Amino acid sequence: MNTYDQLNNRTSKRMRIYAHLSRINKKYNLKSLYIPPISMEIFPTNICNSSCKFCAFHERKGEHLDNNIFESVVESCIEMGVKSVTISGGGEPTLHQYLPIAINKLVTHGIQVGLITNGVHFSEELEKTINKCSWVRVSLLAGNADQYCRYMKFNREQFDKVIGNLSRLADSKQNMILGTTMMLSSEYGDYNSIIEYLDVVSKLKVDQVFFTEMLDDFGEFKMNKDYYRSIIDSVIQHAEKRNIVTNIRKFTQVESQPYIDKVPNEKCSIIEKNLIGLVVPDGRVFSCLGQYTAIDNDRSLGNVNDQDLTKIYNPANLNEKNQLICENVCSYCKNASTRMELDRYFCSKKVKKVNDPHHMFI
């Protein structure tokens, strides 16, 4: 099956839990050495070569995982049997000098790796390493240089560089799935802009396009999603002719907030089961992105600058920390649909089909 068919026929991301039921149903006790997450996300640095005006991490303090700490985190992921690692962050991960070594080590030990990058800081060595990832997503936020530069605070030379890097990556890729992200905004987000973007990335042999929205200062999307619902079929048809799969149908859905409103006082099953984890540049470890972005208090499980990741995931430590942090559903939940499906499974015990090339990434 080719890449397009794999992506086009895959089940929803929420169904990935059904590929991990043995881990989800496993009972751990205080004698267990650790309770390993299925998926880890690592933010290796807050240093960035861009100054995107919309970035949630624009007030960076320049934190950076030391090479030996990054190495320790990778070794712990290998030891614990983590299934996948996504490397992204509030900064640009390709600026971290340990990144190629980290990817090589993880892949060598059978751990699938995903990378989110702005695609500017590529070298020949790094490109060879990136090709070992299961998937790579490049933030080519617009299909023309003028709009791209307004978004990224870059110049035309850097836009051309990203286009060139994407082209070489596509030409050399084997099993890696290549995606890009388009930023929809009031100034660049109508049907014609989307068509322009799809035409550009199709020439670069991109497999997948993710649409995301630019939020205003109040964290809300200014544009009417009813408009996007009205153009879904035309966009999908245009993309299909170019062998590109998009997330536009999911982009227009609104399902997580009603769920959050419905169960404000129930424990989070994802946190309870410790299915995902996050290491950020200052070394703190969190149960998920929502816990990291919470502003009421520090919800970290520990810090890899002070202790090994395996110790942080010790059952005794997790039990103590999770009792404090998972009583309520987060106001922002990146994994709301997965949690909904997980709760459905616990209620019904009905196993559903999963068909997804990225099923290792919860």
Residues 161-178: pLDDT tens digits? 999 999 999 999 989 999
The verdict on residue 272 lying in a domain is yes
The SS3 call for residue 242 is coil
């060595």: which residue's tokens?
A: 125
* Spatial separation of the C-alpha atoms in residues 5 and 355, rounded to whole Å: 11
What is the DSSP secondary-structure string of 285-336? EESSHHHHH--SS---SEETTTS-HHHHT-HHHHHHHHHHH-SS--SS-TTH
Least confident of 35-39, 65-69, 258-262: 258-262
DSSP state of 64: B
User: For residue 155, what is the domain's CATH number?
Assistant: 3.20.20.70
* Spatial separation of the C-alpha atoms in residues 206 and 103, rounded to whole Å: 22
The verdict on residue 357 lying in a domain is no
The verdict on residue 358 lying in a domain is no
Q: Is the pLDDT of residue 266 over 90?
A: no
Task: Please state the rounded mean pLDDT for residues 342-361.
Answer: 95
The verdict on residue 359 lying in a domain is no
Residue 217's pLDDT is: 47
Residue 362's pLDDT is: 93
DSSP state of 113: E
Residue 183's pLDDT is: 92
How does the average pLDDT of the chain come out, rounded?
88
Least confident of 46-60, 103-117, 126-140, 273-287: 46-60
Instruction: Sort 170 into a burial class: Cβ within 10 Å, 0-12 / 13-18 / 19+.
Output: middle
The verdict on residue 141 lying in a domain is yes
Q: The pTM is what?
A: 0.92
The residue range of the domain holding 297 is: 3-348
Least confident of 5-9, 96-100, 234-238: 5-9
Task: Please state the rounded mean pLDDT for residues 307-315.
Answer: 94
The verdict on residue 170 lying in a domain is yes
Least confident of 108-117, 190-199, 244-253: 244-253
The verdict on residue 356 lying in a domain is no
The verdict on residue 104 lying in a domain is yes
Per-residue pLDDT band at 337 (split at 50, 70, 90): confident
Per-residue pLDDT band at 360 (split at 50, 70, 90): very high
Total structural domains in the chain? 1
